[in-house]
Copies of this chain bind each other. A is one copy, B any other.
Amino acid sequence: MTVPEAGPGPETAARPWDVWQLFFETTARLTTEIEARLKEHGCSLMDYQVLLLLWNAEDHRLRMGELAQRMVFSPSRLSYQIGVLEKRGWVRRRRCPQDARGLEAELTDEGLRAFRRLRPAHARDVEELFLRALEGDDADRLAAVMDRLARTLA
C-alpha cells in the first residue's frame, strides 16, 4: 500500500520479520506432524533420512563424516544414531579400506527392506502435508530461495 505499483501487485506486503516467524513456526509444525506420522510405523524422521541417504548412495554406503555433513549432525550425534540403527539391524559399520581411520555406514538387507516398507507411507505424508501446498511455480521459487540460503550458509 505504501509503494505505488503499476498493475495488480501482491495483495499483501509481508513484513520480513513476520515472514521469519511464520517460516520458523510452520516448519516446526510441519516436521512435528511428519515425524509423528512416521513414528507410528516405528521410525523417527532422522532415522528415515539416514536410511534415505544410504539408499541413494553408491553401494548403499557412506563415510560417517559425509553422512554427518549431509544430515547436519555433529559427529557424536551421528555416532549415536548409527549405533541405534545398528542395534536394530538396519545398518552395519565397516572399516574403510582406503583410510583405516574412517568407517562406512552400510545399509543391511534388513535395512533395505525396512526402508522399502517405510517409504510409501512417508511419501504420502510429505505429499499431503507439504507438496500439496505448492501451487503454480511455488516449487521452483521455493527451491531457488533454499538454494540461495544454502549458498549463504556454505
For the complex formed, measure the closest distance between the CB of A147 and the CB atoms of chain B, giving whole angstroms. Answer: 7
- Chain A interface mostly: helix
Of the stretches A23-31, A60-68, A80-88, A92-100, the one at the interface is A23-31
Residues of B within 8 A of A128 (CB): 152
CA distance A126 to B21 in the complex (A): 10
Residues of B within 8 A of A153 (CB): 26, 29-30, 33, 129
Report how many copies the assembly holds.
2
Partner of A142, one of B23, B30, B140: B23
B146 contacts A12, CB within 8 Å? Answer: no
Residues of B within 8 A of A135 (CB): 148
Interface string of A33-48 (1 = CB under 8 A from B): 1000000000000000
For the complex formed, measure the closest distance between the CB of A121 and the CB atoms of chain B, giving whole angstroms. Answer: 15
Known contacts A12-B140, A22-B147, A26-B149, then 7 further A-B pairs from the complex at CB < 8 Å, ordered by chain A residue:
A18-B143, A20-B126, A25-B70, A29-B149, A30-B149, A129-B152, A138-B145
Nearest first, the 10 A-B pairs at minimum CB distance are A133-B148, A14-B143, A28-B72, A26-B146, A10-B140, A133-B149, A22-B146, A29-B153, A14-B139, A19-B139
- A positions within 8 Å CB-CB of B: 10, 12-14, 16-20, 22-33, 49, 70-72, 123, 126, 128-135, 137-150, 152-153
